[in-house]
Structure 1
Amino acid sequence: GHDAHVACALGAARLLAESAAEGSLPSGRIRLIFQPSEERTDDENLGGAQRMIAAGAMEGVDAVVGLHVASMSPTGQVLFREGPLMAGNDTLHGVVRGASAHAALPHEGLDAVVLAAHVVLAVQAIVARRIDPLESAVITFGKVEGGSAENILSSEVRLVGTLRYFDFAVREQLQEELRRAFAVADAMGGEGQIEIRSGNPPVINDSGLNDLVRAAAASVVGEADVGVADLIMGAEDFAFLAREAPGCFFWLGAGIEDDPRTHHSPRFDIDESCLPRGAAILTAAAQKVLAEW
């Protein structure tokens, strides 16, 4: 997916350069940001957007626009939403410790797998029973590892996961409840620890800029193909850029007809005919922002 974003930006660069050469580009400066490491952080827990900001990529920027391909939306469709669009996220690194023993003599040890199971069940109750049902929240542990052999009680289980939120008060509550959930292991005689690493804040689209870029997209694809994006619990570090200047992030439909392939799956793919459309929308958006923002 990220190579598609680069292709759209490169296409926009060429179209904008042609407009400049023809003298039809409004006055102002356009900066194209080719950002690495959108989904990973370095040893200081800083991702690509944060590093680009630190390097000065957002200095002097009055508005920032970005797109993301949407492999489950029809090619040709473009989706916008003012205000909150994507959730904020934190990364979770947990460990539950017990004591090893022979599997045939479990009373001589403290099974970390059982302790971790109780922790996971406690975590599952957080969103269901501790968060206001009208708020949005997700906690998922996508990786659980422990044990060394079939006949040995595990002494340690490691869990890696994510939490998602829109409201920062909900985020604080999720973090506090996670600490309590891992304390279940302590109550059972073991030890539970959770490290919560800060991730991306929510993506918040500026209302005025969203309207401007939406109009630019409609001028390219037609009003009928411009729709309203759903709120999703996915996260995106464009949020950091949109904190530095008013931002607009939108979805570019890229689904393969009769065989849409979801993001983050081994079969992921897109209909590449969306790429010229993405480049044209970014070009139109840049021109409209220069002229009217």
Structure 2
Amino acid sequence: MSDTQDFCSLDDTQDLRDELSGIRHHLHRHPELAYQEFKTSDFVAQSLESWGYAVTRGLGGTGMVATLKAGTGSRAVAVRADMDALPINEETGLPYASTEPGKMHACGHDGHTTMVLGAARHLARTRRFDGTVHLVFQPAEEIGADSGAKRMIEDGLFERFPCEAIFGLHNHPGYPTGTFMFRSGPFMAACDTVEVVIHGRGGHAARPQLAVDPVVIGAALVTALQTVVSRSVDPMQAAVVTVGAFNAGHVANVIPETARLQISVRSFDAAVRTLLETRIRTLAQAHADAYGARIEVNYVPGYPVVVNSAPETELALQVARELVGDERVIDGFGPIAGSEDFAYYLQEKPGCFLRLGNGEGAPMLHNASYDFNDDNLTVGAAYWTRLVERFLAAQA
């Protein structure tokens, strides 16, 4: 197992192409939302059990771990796939489009799951590794808080299925299919959500002096929030504060009682993350006090920063170079302002989260026209197989 030619190549998984496409299309037709992945879990578990895996279900709700051992090695590695879909009406017009109104695999988790299943299939039929592989099939990545990764860890994931490292990936539209992207250290942002409710005093639009107008207060706050990053955060640091929703009133001639702002906050550093919360709370309270209103600030911490460990990222990078060549590997990619609950795993274990190109000009993630590119299925299956084989290679 010391020679790289003994490890999985792209050619080794080509015979699985039709089977994997069928699996992916089945999953795409039957999307399920966070913590509702019952049929998906049944399908995945039955496939894995038929290939000889020991499958443990019920972690984090609908999550599961499939375990396979080979040789006499004592080391273990984990690979994770996410299974949940999004509450979006599909508009692809594909023959395998979602059959569930208002539900769609618009982020490619059907493809992520299928690639790991492809690796599971090939690992089971070759068993060219020395140790234990745990395949983690996770629910509820898209939920934003109290996610599947967090719940699986709380259910004893790493105590029950110990491993030296964990790996995962996400597809990335806009880059050529089969292109791998890596970054050591902070890679994807922490994401927090803030709801601000401004309680004013409603009244007639013709007599605003008798009211406390929450719309004016909210508008001033939206403008002030634009200074949080530009004037409070070190220019060498990255952060985002976006007001995504501002709701108040219903008609032109009534000053409403309340206004509500919803804010997305993203950062790559713990100190910056704390600073953002402090500044947003301070600005919100100051604006309410200045206008004589009352304010509520509900600050909900979301996923932490995805921080890839250097040795595991180097291994994952090397495996990609061996598999597809230097021209299809990007080192130092990102950072990415999107968030990912794989971050919770990386707080517990070393590992690497990477990106895989889903096609130039392809619809973006979370878009009603998005579709995972089937050309990635055998590439991803070969990559995960080779990574497991390399990580668990017999030690001389």
What TM-score comes out, normalization by structure 1 length?
0.92
The answer to whether 1:215 aligns with 2:318 is: yes
Query: Shift in Å at residue 266 of structure 1?
Result: 2.8
**CA–CA separation in structure 2 for the residues paired with 1:31 and 1:50:** 17
What residue is the counterpart of 2:122 in the other structure?
15
**CA–CA separation in structure 2 for the residues paired with 1:19 and 1:100:** 71
Root-mean-square deviation (CA, aligned residues, Å) is 1.6
Query: Shift in Å at residue 76 of structure 1?
Result: 2.0
Cα-to-partner distance string for 1:16-67 (whole Å, 9 max, x where unaligned): 11122xxxx22211111111111215xxx52110001112222312110001
Q: Work out which of the residue numbers 301, 307, 312 in structure 2 matches 1:204.
A: 307
Q: Work out which of the residue numbers 122, 135, 141 in structure 1 matches 2:224.
A: 122
**CA–CA separation in structure 2 for the residues paired with 1:142 and 1:19:** 50
What residue is the counterpart of 1:68 in the other structure?
170
What are the residue-to-residue correspondences of 1:1-293 with 2, within 5 Å? Answer: 1-20=108-127, 25-40=128-143, 45-59=145-159, 60-183=162-285, 184-228=287-331, 229-255=333-359, 257=360, 259-291=361-393
Cα-to-partner distance string for 1:114-167 (whole Å, 9 max, x where unaligned): 110111111111111111111111111212211132321121111222211111
**CA–CA separation in structure 2 for the residues paired with 1:235 and 1:246:** 18
SS of the residue 1:291 aligns to: coil
Contact 2:205 2:254 in 1 (8 A): yes
**CA–CA separation in structure 2 for the residues paired with 1:174 and 1:204:** 19
Query: Shift in Å at residue 232 of structure 1?
Result: 1.3
SS of the residue 2:295 aligns to: strand
Query: Shift in Å at residue 178 of structure 1?
Result: 0.4
Whose RCO is larger (CA < 8 A, sep 6+)? 1
What's the % identity of the aligned pairs?
39
The total of aligned residue pairs comes to 284
- What amino acid is aligned across from residue 299 of structure 2 in structure 1? I
- What amino acid is aligned across from residue 125 of structure 2 in structure 1? E
- What amino acid is aligned across from residue 281 of structure 2 in structure 1? R
- What amino acid is aligned across from residue 101 of structure 1 in structure 2? G
SS of the residue 1:288 aligns to: helix
**CA–CA separation in structure 1 for the residues paired with 2:202 and 2:393:** 69
Structure 1: runs of 5 or more not aligned: none
**CA–CA separation in structure 1 for the residues paired with 2:385 and 2:256:** 57
Query: Shift in Å at residue 231 of structure 1?
Result: 0.9
Query: Shift in Å at residue 292 of structure 1?
Result: 7.2
Report the CA distance shift for 1:158/1:79 in structure 2 as closer, same or farther (over 3 A): same
**CA–CA separation in structure 1 for the residues paired with 2:184 and 2:264:** 25
Q: Which moved more, 1:86-95 or 1:60-69?
A: 86-95
**CA–CA separation in structure 1 for the residues paired with 2:274 and 2:157:** 30
**CA–CA separation in structure 2 for the residues paired with 1:292 and 1:119:** 60
**CA–CA separation in structure 1 for the residues paired with 2:208 and 2:350:** 59
- What amino acid is aligned across from residue 263 of structure 1 in structure 2? L
- What amino acid is aligned across from residue 269 of structure 1 in structure 2? D
Contact 2:130 2:394 in 1 (8 A): no
Structure 2: runs of 5 or more not aligned: 1-107
**CA–CA separation in structure 1 for the residues paired with 2:288 and 2:113:** 46
Contact 2:212 2:291 in 1 (8 A): no
What residue is the counterpart of 2:8 in the other structure?
none
Cα-to-partner distance string for 1:220-266 (whole Å, 9 max, x where unaligned): 212221112221111111011111111111111111x4x32112233
SS of the residue 2:278 aligns to: helix
